[in-house]
Amino acid sequence: MENEKGESSSTFKMDNSAQERSLPYVPDCYAVPPSYEPRDALDSNSEIVPTIDISRLKSSDDERRGVIQELSSACQRFGFFQGKNGKVLRRSEESISRDNGSDNGGLGRDNLSSRMDKNGMQVMAVNCYPPCPDPTAALGLPPHSDYSCITILLQNLTGLEIFHPSAHGGSGRWVLVPEVKGVLKVHIGDHVEVLSNGLYKSVIHKVTLNEEKTRISLASLHSLGMDDKMSVPYQLVNNENPARYRESSFNDFLDFLVKNDISQGERFIDTLRIKD
Ligand SMILES: O=C(O)CCC(=O)C(=O)O
Ligand SMILES: [Fe+2]
């Protein structure tokens, strides 16, 4: 995306970015399409964004079952939750896969934790969002879902918004994720949506900007190996429930990135859906 002045939102010459030049306005190339509606009325009520005390996974069986239920409900409704007590986040990853395979004797464990243990990948993204003279005109990141299995995120300031698809009678709305100290944000990615044959939703999220402060986020994306294909497990498929997604790997996602512009709203998961 380059405009007539040679300004581009995707390539930066050293010392030449809008921030480095301290521009008092937002160059056209950063302006968001109207469909992204950066001026949404936001609901920052923290009740709506589930915060789950994951340390309860180490408690009694009953307590554990309760937490797994809460995790499952959050993954189905939002594809997102905030986890209190990050030390045991690994257990929530296992719970997501165990719950997903609870009817078939360990399907989830085979399909996620052990495959990730063998040749899974972790990609760390450090995102820096400088202050923006007009936060209503631009976005830090356009709406997207993460291709990975799960993303674990820390932020220093609010700015992350998730799309809550069933709000407003099904038309959906954006929800600002409140900053709660010591809490990690967990996104369900495209590959867990595939693994659950659509039961868990990969969360669409975007990042808004701040007029005064620099926002920094650390995102840890966890996925299968480069060529390891994620497919709908055969145990979840029968005549009534056909597979809803084609198989794909991280490399397939990279191919998709080269050929598509995700800033225009293209989603990898949409290319995997099998139409009825
Ligand atoms: O900065 C954030 O809060 C989100 C970052 C993000 O969505 C990503 O790195 O994929
Ligand atoms: Fe993301």
In a domain, 134, yes or no: yes
In a domain, 190, yes or no: yes
3 state SS of 57: helix
Comparing CA positions, the residue from 239, 120, 258, 240 lying closest to residue 191 is 120
CA distances from 144 to 118, 128, 162, 263 (A): 28, 17, 10, 8
In a domain, 6, yes or no: no
141 Cβ inside 6 Å of ligand 1: yes
Amino acid identity of residue 271, one-letter, is: T
Q: State in Å: Cα 59 to ligand 2 middle.
A: 31
Average pLDDT, the chain: 83
CA within 13 Å, CB half, 208 = 23
In a domain, 8, yes or no: no
- Higher per-residue pLDDT: 164 or 251: 251
In a domain, 252, yes or no: yes
Residue 229: the pLDDT is 95
For residue range 134-185, list pLDDT tens digits in order: 888 889 998 999 999 999 999 999 999 999 888 778 778 888 898 888 889 9
In a domain, 209, yes or no: yes
3 state SS of 99: helix
Q: pLDDT exceeding 70 applies to what percent of the chain?
A: 79
Return the CATH number at 265: 2.60.120.330
Tell me how many domains the chain contains.
1
Q: State the ligand closest to the CA atom of 125.
A: 1
Q: State in Å: Cα 239 to ligand 1 middle.
A: 38
Q: Which domain holds residue 130?
A: 16-97+106-272
In a domain, 207, yes or no: yes
In a domain, 10, yes or no: no
Neighbours of ion ligand 2 (CB under 5 A): 146
